[in-house]
Structures are given as C-alpha cells and as structure tokens.
C-alpha cells in the first residue's frame, strides 16, 4: 500500500496524467450539473413518494447515475448504452461475422463494433424514454402531455443519454478509468451527503447499539464484496520445452486465473430488465388503448402485474433466481473453454494431469461451473440485501443497497488498478 501511494505521488508529477485526471473530473462535474436540470412539469412530492414505494425504479436509479430520481434531462443515464453493449456482446454468440469483427479484426474491428453499439443505443433510449414518461404520467408525477410535448420530452431525454454516452467515452479514452462506470459511481456517491443528513435528522441516542450493528454489518459486507470481487481460482499451466537453434525455450510454469465473479453486475441489470419489462408493457398498453372491452382487460392485467410485483416475497425470490440464472448465462456467453483450450494447445501449453483438447475443455468447463455457483449466489444475496435488511428492521431510511455497494467497490478497485498500471508504465 505504501508503494502504491509513492507511485501515485510520482505519477501526479506528470503533466499528461494531470490532464487525464482533470478531464475525468470535468466530465463528472458536467454530468452532475445536467442531472440537476429536470424535465418540465415534474411534481417533486409525487416523484419522491413514487420512488420510495417502487423498488424497481429505485434500483434503476442506481444505473442511471442518480438522474432518474429527479427526472432530469439525463434521467436514463448510461443505461441505454450499457444495454446496447450487453446486446451486442450476446449477438456475437449468434452471428459469426460480429464475433470475428470483435475478436479477430483487431483495433479496426473493435472500432466498428463500438460504432454499432452507439447506433443501437439511440433506439433503446427512445423506447426507454417513451416508456418511463408514459408510466410517470399514469402515476401523476408528470402532467398529461399532448403529442408534440411528449415527443419533445422524449427527444430531450434521448439527447441527454447520448450526450452522457459521449462524455463516458471521452473519459475512457482520454481520462482515467471506465467512463460509464465512473458516471454511475458519481451518481451513487452524490447521494451520500443526503443520506447522512437524513440519518442525522433521525438520530436517536437509544438506538446507538443498533447503529453500531449497522456499521459492523456494512464493514462486513464491504469486506465480502472486495474479497469475492478479487477472488480467483488459479489453474496451473505449463509450457512445453522447445529447442530452437541450440537454445531451450519454454518449460515455464504459470497459472490461468479464473475469476469467481466473472459477470460483474451484468446479471443484476438483466434481472431488473426482465422484472420491469411486464410493468412497462402493460402500462403502455393501458395508456394507448383507452376504449372497448380489450382496454378493460388491459387495465385489469396492469393492476394484477402491479400487485404481484408489489409483493415483497415474490419480488425477492424472483429477483434472486433471475440473478443466479443470468450469472450462469452471461458467464457461458463470455467464457469459452473450447477457445482457451485451443489457444493453450497452439502455444504448446497444457494443464498438468489433463490431456490437451477436449479433456482440457471439459476440465475448464467443470471448474467454471463450480466457481460460478458461488459467484451467482453471492450476486443474488447482494441483489436482495436491501429487502433482507428491511425485513429484519422495518426501517427503509437506514437500508444500505448491496447493488450500489457492489458497483462502488468494483469501480474503486478498477480505478486503483488503472492508476497503478499508469504508474508502472511511467516507471518503465
């Protein structure tokens, strides 16, 4: 840790690094300024009450970087961009041309792949903006809008999302760290002073032991998140000795690091989308279809879906199961044992005690399946942690969000690694 701080001190004497840090901070400041500008006609009181009683939008507010909680012009945050990135990664498993573009065509292929992701972001932002505005109109948070005011608000929100996507990419390219992750991180951290002020206003000396338990619980959860995020299963790899021109090459032993949580927070985003999708669809249909017997059925269906999702037991169990399933699914999409086995064989490397080829593929597949179970259960626990705390205490004001904590810790760890890499490269 001391050497890391020494590296940082030497690092920030470099003018190019100072420029990178300044650009990163400037991008985050612009984001927070945009997040403070609401769309026209928002009922602040109804909005606060609606978010307090809706677990879905409270979690989506995390991924919007906090812009959704006050219906700002950047209310969607980088959510559409993240969704587009996930969809494009999934499409690489379905279309070989996209897979070759991303994995085999080098920098030019990745640039083209990124351009497709940006283009996909726009229609996704339009759909999300339209859906949220209609949903909030039904709840009375936003006044009833005519056709042109509705189109105007949708265009404003979509433009804000595209602007944030551009700022995030600028931070990733010319700043330090991942731009989209830092924007989400800034939105979460910006709420800390408000939470502290609220808890200070509700401070009760008779509950000091309870506050102490909350503090110990928070420290334990942070430690668990850091431990699982950094946990790896090392698979030993040995390179065969080769004689070339009288020189003996290879014979080196190393290891293949398999992360315990390879999916990150992506399964949580998937699960939220699946849980929110039925609500959005039935509410949009109830808004669009206003007459006839079919409209009555749609309204009944909308009320049924709302009541079902309001059941904390159903929501918690469904959320946990979906997170576990999507963790396995995303890991299967992003981790290919067959490709790793082929690369090892081409490099004249092998896993001791395991035959190259199909046996290595099967061996790696079994290991990933086992360690993914631990990572999936951990993500599921983190996802429903606020529900668990609220169920034991009955107090929402003191509930700490496991998803937000996971994002903050992951971003901080990634930022520390990026700074350490910059410092090491400067030394060389």
Q: What is the pLDDT of residues 212-256, one digit of tens each?
A: 887 887 788 888 888 888 888 888 888 776 656 556 555 677 888
Cβ atoms of residues 251 and 239 within 8 Å: yes
Tokens of 310: 């309001």
Phi/psi at 156 (5° precision) = -65, -45
Contacts with 231 (C-beta within 8 Å, 6 or more apart), sequence order: 259, 260, 261
Q: What is the pLDDT of residue 166?
A: 92
Residue 234 backbone dihedrals phi, psi, to 5 degrees: -75, 130
Give the closest residue to 42 by CA, choosing from 120, 133, 169.
133
Cβ neighbour number for residue 2 with a 10 Å cutoff: 6
Q: What secondary structure letter does DSSP report for 177?
A: S
Tokens at 303, concatenated? 């009320």
Provide the token pair at 224: 């668990």
User: What pLDDT score was predicted for residue 60?
Assistant: 66
Residues of the chain with pLDDT under 50: 397-400
Write b or e for each residue in 154-166: b if 16 or more Cβ atoms lie within 10 A of its Cβ, otherwise e. bebbbebbbebbe
* Count of other CB atoms within 10 angstroms of residue 377: 14
pLDDT at 412: 80
CB 348 within 8 A of CB 242: yes
Rg (CA), the chain: 24
Question: Given this model, what pLDDT does residue 330 score?
Answer: 82
Alpha-carbon torsion angle 189, 194, 197, 198, nearest 10: -120
> Please, where are the H alpha helices in 36-78?
44-52, 55-63
Residue 234 bridge partners (DSSP): 257
- Whether 230 and 261 have beta carbons less than 8 Å apart is answered as no
The predicted structure's pLDDT at residue 203: 72
């Amino acid at each position: 840790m001391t050497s890391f701080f020494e590296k940082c001190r030497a690092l920030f004497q470099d003018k190019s690094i100072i420029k990178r840090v300044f650009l990163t901070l400037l991008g985050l400041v612009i984001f927070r300024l945009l997040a403070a500008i609401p769309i026209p006609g928002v009922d602040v009181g109804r909005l606060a009450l609606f978010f307090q009683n809706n677990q879905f939008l409270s979690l989506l507010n995390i991924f919007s970087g906090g812009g959704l909680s006050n219906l700002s012009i950047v209310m969607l945050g980088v959510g559409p961009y993240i969704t587009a990135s996930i969809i494009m990664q999934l499409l690489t498993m379905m279309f070989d041309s996209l897979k070759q573009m991303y994995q085999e065509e080098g920098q030019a292929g990745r640039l083209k792949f990124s351009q497709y992701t940006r283009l996909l972001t726009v229609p996704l932002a339009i759909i999300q903006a339209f859906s949220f505005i209609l949903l909030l109109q039904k709840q009375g948070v936003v006044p009833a809008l005519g056709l042109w005011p509705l189109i105007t608000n949708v265009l404003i929100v979509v433009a804000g999302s595209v602007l944030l996507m551009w700022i995030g990419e600028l931070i990733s390219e010319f700043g330090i760290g991942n731009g989209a992750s830092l924007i989400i991180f800034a939105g979460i951290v910006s709420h800390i002073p408000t939470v502290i002020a609220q808890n200070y206003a509700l401070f009760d000396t008779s509950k000091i032991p309870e506050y102490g338990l909350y503090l110990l619980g928070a420290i334990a959860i942070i430690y668990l998140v850091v431990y699982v995020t950094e946990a790896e299963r090392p698979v030993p790899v040995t390179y065969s000795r080769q004689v070339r021109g009288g020189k003996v090459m290879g014979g080196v032993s190393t290891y293949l690091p398999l992360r315990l949580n390879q999916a990150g927070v992506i399964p949580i985003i998937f699960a939220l989308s699946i849980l929110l999708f039925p609500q959005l669809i039935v509410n949009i249909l109830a808004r669009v279809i206003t007459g006839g017997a079919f409209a009555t059925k749609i309204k009944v269906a909308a009320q049924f879906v709302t009541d079902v999702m309001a059941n904390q037991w159903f929501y918690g169990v469904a959320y946990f199961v979906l997170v576990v399933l999507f963790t396995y699914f995303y890991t299967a999409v992003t981790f290919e044992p067959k490709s790793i086995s082929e690369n090892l064989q081409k490099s004249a490397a092998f896993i001791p005690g395991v035959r190259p080829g199909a046996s290595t593929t099967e061996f790696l597949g079994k290991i990933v399946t086992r360690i993914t179970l631990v990572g999936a259960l951990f993500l599921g626990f983190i996802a429903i942690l606020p529900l668990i705390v609220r169920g034991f205490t009955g107090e929402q004001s003191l509930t700490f969000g496991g998803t937000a904590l996971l994002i903050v810790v992951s971003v901080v760890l990634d930022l520390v690694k990026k700074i350490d890499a910059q410092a090491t490269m400067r030394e060389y």
